[in-house]
């Protein structure tokens, strides 16, 4: 079963997860919530969280949602991501991602990030490819 504990372990064992410090909060098939705590090295001059933090958090959160809907043993890679920034973040972020459509090889989802005050910081659309699955005939 791919739950919060399994998702956190996957991130903690990945080459990128420990550096980012992601914290998995919820996992259900096609849905995930992940936090990114603020750290000094994530900020631009002026005290604003660098925008790539929200994009990376959204990508990882959607990836977890895809794995929860399919299989944690199946590879899944980002095919496309579009991000819209709505406010500057000055705190850590929380993200929720849900799958809008899941096919055999392509999964399409949305993700939104909020700061610690509950302000919507960014909205993302993300398409994932599961390359291990043959295309439909």
Q: What is the pLDDT of residues 73-99, one digit of tens each?
A: 778 899 999 999 999 999 999 999 999
Alpha-carbon distance of 119 to 31, in angstroms, equals 20
pLDDT per residue as tens digits for the range 102-130: 998 999 999 999 999 999 999 999 999 98
Contact 98, 30 (CB under 8 A): yes
Average pLDDT of every residue of the chain: 93
Q: What structural domains and CATH numbers belong to the chain?
A: 4-129 (3.10.129.10)
Alpha-carbon distance of 82 to 80, in angstroms, equals 7
Alpha-carbon distance of 14 to 52, in angstroms, equals 19
Tell me which residue has tokens 């095919």: 79
pLDDT per residue as tens digits for the range 15-55: 999 999 999 999 999 999 999 999 999 999 999 999 999 99
Report the pLDDT value the prediction gives residue 1, as an integer from 0 to 100.
80
Q: Which residues share a beta bridge with 97?
A: 32, 111
């Amino acid at each position: 079963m791919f739950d919060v504990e399994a998702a956190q372990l996957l991130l903690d064992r990945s080459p990128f997860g420990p550096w980012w410090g992601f914290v998995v909060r919820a996992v259900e098939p096609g849905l995930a919530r992940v936090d990114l705590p603020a750290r000094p090295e994530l900020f631009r001059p002026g005290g604003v969280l660098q925008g790539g933090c929200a994009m990376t958090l959204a990508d990882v959160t959607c990836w977890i949602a895809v794995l929860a809907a399919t299989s944690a043993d199946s590879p899944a890679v980002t095919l496309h991501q579009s991000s819209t920034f709505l406010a500057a973040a000055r705190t850590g972020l929380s993200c929720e991602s849900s799958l809008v459509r899941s096919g055999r090889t392509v999964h399409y989802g949305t993700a939104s990030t909020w700061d610690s005050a509950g302000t919507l910081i960014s909205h993302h659309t993300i398409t994932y490819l599961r390359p291990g699955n043959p295309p439909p005939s």
